[in-house]
């Protein structure tokens, strides 16, 4: 079944793209990985509990086992085949005098009233987070009855997209401009589209909901930064929400130490983690393990780390953190400037980094749809793709008729 038919109203001319690392580069990487050393045993790395924000991070044993699997059993070619089983494209998009080459994966519908949907990833994720979602949709629908045009871009600086510029600052608002130009250029300007995001994608989605005329509704699964409103007492929250706040506080106290490094020393950490695949594995692997409800399969973690390595994503992708911890920090979600007046949806997961209660999120926008889950963590689409698809389907079904 073909999901690659670009809408007739598109003004952009995307070119088909195939993921492929040369045999030479793959062999070079495998040699480097083999000779990359693991640091010595320490009290901390022998006792570390990666699931606990208050503990020491990743364990040496996990890194050693993962490195051995990466060397001897992992198959990047298999991952490339999976990526290439979907329609992939690249397209030039100009922003503020800079030419981006934006990569995106798509499932284009042939249904006349299909709703355009932008699925926006974050860090340490990529478009790979949504492949399970695309699997669910591709199995459930044919091009003729798919209810969405699903667009999954690699944000600027991530994966197969280039940027950001080397000679000037670039920020979250800039990401939103590029995503908006992509969606409008694909022919979704007149009818509008829905933005969905977690992690960095949640900030981008919020900016789109405020700044873009074409973005008609926003669905989030992260609203970090929002604090307790004066008129929402703690006893008004459910038991599950109160338990989630313990996790939120733990993350705020110690769990976001990594983010301060990204935001205040992006040059240093970027150079360090670009020098060794094992260093990148430890830094990124820790986040997938710690931020998920159930730990993802090792191969899924290695997919993301390997993509980051071959595309030099890490140092190019952490620039948004400078806004979170710079001279004038903003997390967007709690800022009145970024209140979403358009229909907003929110999915709550107990093992999210910041399981912000529904009543708190409602202070940040026109919250018209909500679903609380009993399972799930930070990577909602990757961890539980069927539930993620259900949330998006139900949200769009409820709000789209109200904005058209």
Which one, of 116, 123, 296, 291, lies nearest residue 215 by Cα? 116
For residue 164, whether the previous peptide bond is cis, meaning omega lies within 30 degrees of 0, is yes
Q: Three-state SS across 189-228?
A: CCCCEEEEECCHHHHHHHHHHHHCCCEEEEEECCCCCCCC
Q: How many other C-beta atoms are found inside a 10 Å radius of the C-beta of residue 55?
A: 14
Residue 340 neighbours by CB under 8 Å, 6+ apart: 206, 209, 210, 218, 364, 365, 366
Q: Which of 86, 378, 387, 391 is catalytic?
A: 378
Say whether 149 is catalytic. no
What beta strand segments (E) does 42-114 contain?
88-95, 98-107
Say whether 55 is catalytic. no
Say whether 349 is catalytic. no
Q: Which of 321, 333, 373, 391 is catalytic?
A: 321
Q: Which of 199, 293, 303, 391 is catalytic?
A: 199
Which one, of 215, 144, 150, lies nearest residue 184 by Cα? 215
Give me the active site residues, please: 199, 321, 378
């Amino acid at each position: 079944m073909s999901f690659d038919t670009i809408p007739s109203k598109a003004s952009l001319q995307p070119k088909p793209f195939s993921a492929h690392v040369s045999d030479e580069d793959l062999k070079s990487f495998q040699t480097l990985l083999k000779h990359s050393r693991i640091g010595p045993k320490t009290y901390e790395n022998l006792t570390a509990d990666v699931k606990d924000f208050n503990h020491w991070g990743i364990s040496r044993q996990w890194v050693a086992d993962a490195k051995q699997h990466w060397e001897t059993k992992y198959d990047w070619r298999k991952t490339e085949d999976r990526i290439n089983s979907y329609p992939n494209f690249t397209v030039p998009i100009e922003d503020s005098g800079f030419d981006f080459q934006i990569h995106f994966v798509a499932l284009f519908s042939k249904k006349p009233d299909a709703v355009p949907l932008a699925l926006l990833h974050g860090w340490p994720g990529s478009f790979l987070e949504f492949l399970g979602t695309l699997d669910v949709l591709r199995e459930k629908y044919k091009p003729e009855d798919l209810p969405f045009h699903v667009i999954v871009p690699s944000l600027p600086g991530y994966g197969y997209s280039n940027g950001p510029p080397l000679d000037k600052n670039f920020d979250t608002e800039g990401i939103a401009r590029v995503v908006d130009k992509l969606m409008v250029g694909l022919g979704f300007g007149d009818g509008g589209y829905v933005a969905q995001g977690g992690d960095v994608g949640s900030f981008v989605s919020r900016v789109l909901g405020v700044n873009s005329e074409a973005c008609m509704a926003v669905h989030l699964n992260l609203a970090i930064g929002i604090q307790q409103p004066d008129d929402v007492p703690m006893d008004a929250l459910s038991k599950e929400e109160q338990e989630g706040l313990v996790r939120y506080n733990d993350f705020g106290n110690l769990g976001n130490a990594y983010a301060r490094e990204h935001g205040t020393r992006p040059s240093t950490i970027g150079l360090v983690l670009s020098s060794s695949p094992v260093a990148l594995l430890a830094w990124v692997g820790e986040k997938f393990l710690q931020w998920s409800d159930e730990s993802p399969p090792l191969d899924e973690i290695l997919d993301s780390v390997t993509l980051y390595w071959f595309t030099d994503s890490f140092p190019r992708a952490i620039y948004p953190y400078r806004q979170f911890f710079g001279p004038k920090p903003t997390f967007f979600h709690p800022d009145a400037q970024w209140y979403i007046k358009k229909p907003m949806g929110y999915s709550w997961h107990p093992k999210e980094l910041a399981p912000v209660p529904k009543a708190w999120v409602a202070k940040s926008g026109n919250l018209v749809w909500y679903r609380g889950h009993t399972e799930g963590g930070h990577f909602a689409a990757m961890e539980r793709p069927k539930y993620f698809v259900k949330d998006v389907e139900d949200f769009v079904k409820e709000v789209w008729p109200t904005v058209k």
